[in-house]
Amino acid sequence: MFALDKPDVARYDDRQRAIGRRIRVVDGQLAAVCLFGDSSGEQWLREWLTEARDVAGIGPLLLRPSRSPPGERPLRGRIVCNCFDVSEPEINQRLAARLESRGGTLDVLQADLKCGTNCGSCVAELKRLVAGKKVAA
């Protein structure tokens, strides 16, 4: 289904530690990933796959079993609002900046980032994040 049995799939196998990876790159972007025995890189590989990140030139580094992605670019983090693709670090950053000016509320987040203004499924999580920042401040 994901064509991970094709000859162009990069493979890493460590039979002694019972871990492995299968990574398929098409046109310089991740097309499919399979991790087994060690899923420590799942977060960054998932993010790179969904973002269609350009991975041309770093091929062998994709096979390295690592919790951190190759390179220096930080991960976006967990997406809280799928409708507008807003991550938890983006929300926390906006709340921290707004709390200094006494305006870190759900209304401000909705106005600034649009999160919680479409389907509304993330509103409860947004309220939790706002409440957590107010307690921390």
Q: What is the pLDDT of residues 51-65, one digit of tens each?
A: 888 887 787 888 887
pLDDT of residue 38: 84
In angstroms, the CA 116 to CA 81 distance is: 7
Question: Sorting pLDDT into bands at 50, 70 and 90, what band is 1?
Answer: low
pLDDT of residue 72: 59
Domain ranges of the chain: 10-62, 79-136
pLDDT of residue 102: 56
Q: What is the pLDDT of residues 77-134, one digit of tens each?
A: 788 898 988 888 888 888 887 765 555 688 888 888 999 999 999 999 999 988 887 6
The correct answer on CATH 1.10.10.10 for the domain covering 79-136 is no
* pTM (predicted TM-score): 0.53
Q: Which long-range contacts (CB under 8 A, 24 or more apart) does 99-103 make?
A: 99/133, 99/134, 99/137
In angstroms, the CA 85 to CA 22 distance is: 28
